[in-house]
Structure 1
Amino acid sequence: MDFNIIAPMAVTDVELTASNIPEDDHPEWAAGTNYAKGDLVISLTSHRIYQSMQDGNLGNDPLTDDGSWWFDLRATNRWSAFDQRRSNTASHPDQITYSITPTQDCDAIALFGLTAGSVRIEVWDGPSRIYDQTFVMVDTGHVVSVYTWFFGGIVYTRQKVLNGFPGYIGHRIDITIAAVGATAKVGHIVLGRNHLLGQVMNLPRISFVSHSRKGYDDFGDEILVKRGSTRKIEVALLVPTIQAPRVMDIMAEIDGLATAFYASGTGPTYGIEGLGFLDDHGQPLDVAGESTFPLIMKTLK
């Protein structure tokens, strides 16, 4: 199987042209309003929510504040799908829609932290719809017996990766995340160029990383605090040595960015799919023709 990453495209006001999620989480900051401690405002420039740190907060712009008056809380609901964090989810009753016009070639999309029955991707070239696919998000991997087939309940997958669609500069990409009768949610959306890095060698390692607190107090009683978990993916990639500069350039491009990665091919992918960041990448070169590159990715919560 092959290891792929999607180098993320920045999504700004230029790219995000429409959404059914209103940006009205809280009142917009106004210079003439005297805010009390704990008051919440939003900025339609940064698309973030700010909390007042003290009373008598008058005339202090949260965009230029040094942290004395305002605390940068999180992205607004509409923009939570593009804030490089999976835990801040964008949500809306029944469905979420986004219209995005790429400013660079974009042939892949990945959605994470989904609460949805289906996801629809449409691509428009002017008035012509040139791509239209709907994906049902039922996860059949949880069916492990006849009993679970009939009585196990419906389990929905939390992520979807898609590549090969015609998301060229100037095309409009419409995303519809549907959860009819419920609240549709998405944690993060990555759009960008798909890169095949190399072939996954035998024995990839996927580790469960718990962030829960587990210990004992002075009397020996257990202290258990439930927190989130992440995964650590360690793979060795077989890459033609002549392509080493290409791989190094891609690693430099995605360093420090929330990046989608996944395995492709005819064999089972063993859960090598997620939203994460590059943790380490070694490049011992074999001048004979092919090199084995160790790669470590860590997922976001």
Structure 2
Amino acid sequence: MDFNIIAPMPVTDVELVGSNIAEDDHPVWDVGVTYALGDRVISLVTHRIYESVQPGNLGHDPVSDAGSWWLDLRLATRRWSAFDNRRSNKASRADEITYSIVPTRDCDAISLFGLTAGAVQIEVRDGGTLIYDQTFVLADTGHVVSMYTYFFGGIFYARQKVLNGFPGYIGHQIDITISAPGAVAEVGHIVLGRNHILGSIMDGAEVGHVSHSRKEFDQFGDELLIKRGSTRKVTVPLRVPTVQAPRVMDLVAEVDGLVTAFYGSSEYAPNYGIEGLGFVDDHTQPLDAAGDSIFTLVLKTIK
């Protein structure tokens, strides 16, 4: 099984050329409006949400304010939530979500996380010509463990999906449609970029559960549990031809400090849960001059 990582492409106002999600979470900040304590506005520059922390708030730009008048809630607007490096702040819309993106870098892979949808469609256009059109049904059969669950276990849908191999060159338009007819379509984060195979996954890969919930005790010794979600720590031993060591080290350096997608792929086997949205936490690459080098890559997912 190969281990893949997607070197992410930035998605800014230049790349995002269209969406059916309106950017109207709150009023757009207006220099001539006086805002009361607790009023919220959005900025079309940063695509973030701000809350007034003082009454009589007039003429103070939330983008340049240092916190005296506005609190940056660190939340992207709903239209931009799919590109804010978080899964928990989701973009949503009734029936379907659409995004049109024109890459400024070569892009042959898309990974979608935090999905609530029945299908995802990817279309690629070169000028006015449709050159790629694929729809991926997100039905998930991983819960089927017996004849009973096959017939009565209900219908489940995948929460994440990796798509690659399409012709997303610079200047092409990539149209993404996330469909949930009769329901609310959701997506937590979308990564677009160039797919890279780092090496072959060896036995001993580990996927660890990291709880962020608080576990405390009151004065009587009773447990106080406060649920705050969880992330995963993925430890993957990889086999890489030693002559490719510089390539692998350069790729790890390229994605260092960036939120990206990673996954295992094989023609004959599932990925065994080695798939996620996160960042490289540790990478040490011992070199074996005999031919292949074996090293461990540690990644952590984000909420």
Which amino acid is the alignment partner of residue 287 of structure 2? L
Match in the other structure for 1:41: 41
Match in the other structure for 2:276: 274
For structure 1, which segment, 98-107 or 142-151, has the greater mean C-alpha deviation from structure 2 after superposition? 142-151
User: Secondary structure, in 3 states, of the residue corresponding to 1:141?
Assistant: coil
Question: What are the Cα deviations for residues 184-221 of structure 1, in whole angstroms up to 9, with x where unaligned?
Answer: 00000000000100111111011011111223222121
Which amino acid is the alignment partner of residue 208 of structure 1? H
Q: CA deviation at 1:145?
A: 1.2
User: Secondary structure, in 3 states, of the residue corresponding to 1:243?
Assistant: helix
Q: Following the alignment from structure 1 to structure 2, what is the Cα–Cα distance between the partners of residues 187 and 256?
A: 20
Which amino acid is the alignment partner of residue 122 of structure 1? E
Question: What are the Cα deviations for residues 87-121 of structure 1, in whole angstroms up to 9, with x where unaligned?
Answer: 11000111000000101100000000000011111
For structure 1, which segment, 214-223 or 36-45, has the greater mean C-alpha deviation from structure 2 after superposition? 214-223
User: Superposed, which structure 2 residues align to 1:1-301 within 5 Å?
Assistant: 1-73=1-73, 74-265=75-266, 266-301=268-303
Question: What are the Cα deviations for residues 149-193 of structure 1, in whole angstroms up to 9, with x where unaligned?
Answer: 121111111000011100011111000001111110000000000
Question: What are the Cα deviations for residues 110-144 of structure 1, in whole angstroms up to 9, with x where unaligned?
Answer: 00000001111111111111111111111111111
Identity %: 71
Q: CA deviation at 1:147?
A: 1.1
User: Secondary structure, in 3 states, of the residue corresponding to 2:150?
Assistant: helix
Which amino acid is the alignment partner of residue 241 of structure 2? P
Q: Following the alignment from structure 1 to structure 2, what is the Cα–Cα distance between the partners of residues 268 and 117?
A: 20
Q: Following the alignment from structure 2 to structure 1, what is the Cα–Cα distance between the partners of residues 52 and 258?
A: 29
Q: CA deviation at 1:268?
A: 3.2
Which amino acid is the alignment partner of residue 68 of structure 1? S
Q: Following the alignment from structure 2 to structure 1, what is the Cα–Cα distance between the partners of residues 112 and 270?
A: 20
Q: Following the alignment from structure 2 to structure 1, what is the Cα–Cα distance between the partners of residues 259 and 4?
A: 14
Q: Following the alignment from structure 2 to structure 1, what is the Cα–Cα distance between the partners of residues 164 and 31?
A: 45
User: Secondary structure, in 3 states, of the residue corresponding to 1:179?
Assistant: strand
Which amino acid is the alignment partner of residue 274 of structure 2? I
Q: Which runs of 5 or more structure 1 residues have no equivalent in the other structure?
A: none
Q: CA deviation at 1:41?
A: 0.5
Q: Following the alignment from structure 1 to structure 2, what is the Cα–Cα distance between the partners of residues 270 and 62?
A: 45
Q: CA deviation at 1:300?
A: 1.1
Moved >6 Å (runs of 4+): none
For structure 1, which segment, 147-156 or 81-90, has the greater mean C-alpha deviation from structure 2 after superposition? 147-156
Q: What is the TM-score of this pair, normalised by structure 1?
A: 0.98
User: Secondary structure, in 3 states, of the residue corresponding to 2:194?
Assistant: strand
Q: Following the alignment from structure 2 to structure 1, what is the Cα–Cα distance between the partners of residues 37 and 294?
A: 56
Q: Following the alignment from structure 1 to structure 2, what is the Cα–Cα distance between the partners of residues 109 and 41?
A: 31
What root-mean-square deviation, in Å, do the aligned CA atoms of Structure 1 and Structure 2 show? 0.9
Which amino acid is the alignment partner of residue 143 of structure 1? V
Q: CA deviation at 1:236?
A: 1.1
Q: Following the alignment from structure 1 to structure 2, what is the Cα–Cα distance between the partners of residues 292 and 39?
A: 55
Q: CA deviation at 1:285?
A: 1.3
Q: CA deviation at 1:267?
A: 2.7
Q: CA deviation at 1:57?
A: 1.2
User: Secondary structure, in 3 states, of the residue corresponding to 2:252?
Assistant: helix
Question: What are the Cα deviations for residues 56-110 of structure 1, in whole angstroms up to 9, with x where unaligned?
Answer: 2111111111121111111000000001111110001110000001011000000
Q: Which runs of 5 or more structure 2 residues have no equivalent in the other structure?
A: none
